[in-house]
Structure 1
Amino acid sequence: MPQDQISTPLTKDQAYALVDAVMDRDDLALTASAHENEDTGEWVFQATCDSPPDITAFEALAREILGGDVGFAIDPIDENADWVSRSLEGLKPVTAGGFYVYGSHETDALPRGLIPIRIDAAQAFGTGHHETTTGCLEAIERVLKRKKPMRPIDVGTGTGILAIAVAKRRKLPVIASDIDPLAVRITQENARSNGVGHMIVPVDAAGLDHTTIRGNAPYDLIIANILAGPLVELSPDIGRIADRGAAIILSGLLNTQAQRVIAAYNRQGMVLKDRIVRKDWTSLILEKA
């Protein structure tokens, strides 16, 4: 099947925000990624699509997510090009919350004193490079310094990076759910490659509607790195599965959206304990009273 690649230069935050939005849909692209041009320092959003790509839909999504018009360039894909290697350009290892997140293309020795997490850098919807993910990793570290959760769950797990982080720190099972069956499969693969395959319980579920999720409630650590709208919609369900004193880590929201999310969770008996701000993005740590 012929394929095209579309691209546009953006800021790093914009590129990853658009990647997240595209990967949340199954009708726009086969895959999407963001990378930095090492020669110019410019960040670029790229997506691989069946031909022809729906440029009108991409432009509408960009206006919704980024708040302005974005023009996309279209290039037919050269079947002989090494697109995997190209997608890895500019994706350097990330250190956050005592974790060292790196791609399989890295050849440097792992640093001492940090917990390594290997996530294939081609999977841009959860590589650890976006501020929402690094904020969550830091939030996990803060929570685990004062709590020892026994029943954690990662909602909207993506590549499984956050569930893997908790499993490596706590050495116990973590439920990792996602609405996308592909994400669930990738999570399983990443868990195995990180030596915690036996600790990750993958669940293909829309929100929290699954017998495994309901059957293992209540949870004393709940992580959800998704978007502000779904976080607000899930607040009653998260309130129901949260144990008393549970830590709730929420991310995927812009700084301007934080108060709306906090208010929704306050109504469910959860109070703000801490927040982590990284550029335009906020990660929240709440606790069920």
Structure 2
Amino acid sequence: MSWKITAFADRATIEHALIAHEDALDWDPEIVISGCEVAEDKPDDWRLDAWLDHKPRKADTNALAALFSGKAPSFHVEELPETDWLVSSQQDLEPIRAGIFHVHTPDHPAIEEPGMVDFTIPASQAFGTGQHATTAGCLAMLTHMKRQGVIVRNCADIGTGTGLLAFAALALWPRTIATASDIDAVCPAVVESNAKLNGITMGEGNGELVMTVAAGMDHPLLHARGPYDLIMANILAGPLVSLAPDFGPALVPGGHLVLAGLLETQEPAVRQACQRAGLRLAARMVNGDWSILWLRKRRNWSAI
């Protein structure tokens, strides 16, 4: 059985707790949390949910309480029936349109519309079915970059999840060499299955995708296949700040970096870290509360 702990508070309080969670270096990875608004017509009323695979202990609730500055809100604890909650939560997701892309689960039909690229992404244990604002924002940003004349011959999708952003890059730049990585060992099987479903060829050549398990940029395959014209990373603000010094050297001069997974309030810290790594802002989009950044490596920049 699994358990859930829920707390209700105003938006600023929950967002502060989510940021504190990202900054908590000793956070128990067995406690998974998320935050969202309670209802569309109540934008300032938010909830924080925490999922555990065991009955919550005092140490667990203390860890959650420590995320809040001042007095923590009250916690509601409930036992959940045996099920894969990630898959269950995604099964009824509606299709989305972002840029030239239409993304849907197998429960919904594909579209045949001139100029649109259709992807079928089943609900799975990996992040990135397209419905989250950060993923949709990345699809829109990649479309914008293509329309601005960006040419990509070699790209990497860091923290790929389902593989969707790598698939999108291959659709926009069909001759690119694509590499995808994720820290989660479940992802290679998910990406390979999704690639087969969407006609993406797994392999090392032009127009093909290679998948590996890696923490950030620190992997021999990622080093060997770089430097890249384009790196995409839809993860979290904390890891983006930490990885910024690695992104710069991994890009060719003038190369492109697309970042997502950061709230607008976290954007200054991410941009500052990228600036120190020789990256300048080319464009930004906001989707809901989330920022999507397109940055470029300075042509005359070199690490000191």
Alignment TM-score, normalising by the size of structure 1:
0.79
Count the aligned residue pairs.
Answer: 280
Query: Gaps spanning 5+ residues in structure 1: where?
Result: none
Equivalent-residue separation in structure 1 for 2:282 and 2:58 (angstroms): 42
Equivalent-residue separation in structure 2 for 1:54 and 1:112 (angstroms): 53
Is residue 192 of structure 2 the alignment partner of residue 192 of structure 1?
no
* Paired position in structure 2 for 1:220: 229
Select the residue among 151, 158, 171 that pairs with 2:161. 158
Select the residue among 7, 10, 31 that pairs with 1:28. 31
* Paired position in structure 2 for 1:103: 105
Equivalent-residue separation in structure 2 for 1:197 and 1:256 (angstroms): 38
Equivalent-residue separation in structure 2 for 1:44 and 1:56 (angstroms): 21
Q: Do the aligned partners of 1:33 and 1:123 also contact (CA within 8 Å) in 2?
A: no
- The secondary structure found in structure 1 opposite 2:122 is coil
* Paired position in structure 1 for 2:89: 87
Q: Residues 103 and 252 (structure 1 numbering): CA distance in 2 closer, same or farther, change over 3 Å?
A: same
Query: Gaps spanning 5+ residues in structure 2: where?
Result: 203-207, 299-304
Q: Do the aligned partners of 2:125 and 2:186 also contact (CA within 8 Å) in 1?
A: no
- CA deviations 1:130-158 (Å, max 9, x no partner) are 22111111111112221120100011112
- Over the aligned positions, Cα root-mean-square deviation in angstroms equals 3.9
Give the drift of 1:160: 1.5
Q: Do the aligned partners of 1:102 and 1:121 also contact (CA within 8 Å) in 2?
A: no
Equivalent-residue separation in structure 2 for 1:50 and 1:133 (angstroms): 27
- The secondary structure found in structure 2 opposite 1:181 is coil
- CA deviations 1:194-224 (Å, max 9, x no partner) are 2214222111111111111111111001111
Q: Which amino acid aligns with 2:2?
A: Q
Equivalent-residue separation in structure 1 for 2:58 and 2:131 (angstroms): 26
Is residue 256 of structure 2 the alignment partner of residue 247 of structure 1?
yes
Equivalent-residue separation in structure 2 for 1:173 and 1:65 (angstroms): 44
Greater mean alpha carbon deviation, residues 124-133 or residues 149-158: 124-133
* Paired position in structure 2 for 1:175: 179
* Paired position in structure 2 for 1:3: 2
Q: Do the aligned partners of 2:229 and 2:251 also contact (CA within 8 Å) in 1?
A: yes
Structure label with greater radius of gyration: 2
Give the drift of 1:4: 3.7
Is residue 127 of structure 2 the alignment partner of residue 125 of structure 1?
yes
Give the drift of 1:279: 2.2
- The secondary structure found in structure 1 opposite 2:186 is helix
Q: Which amino acid aligns with 1:96?
A: A
Q: Which amino acid aligns with 2:131?
A: H
* Paired position in structure 2 for 1:209: 218
Equivalent-residue separation in structure 1 for 2:187 and 2:167 (angstroms): 14
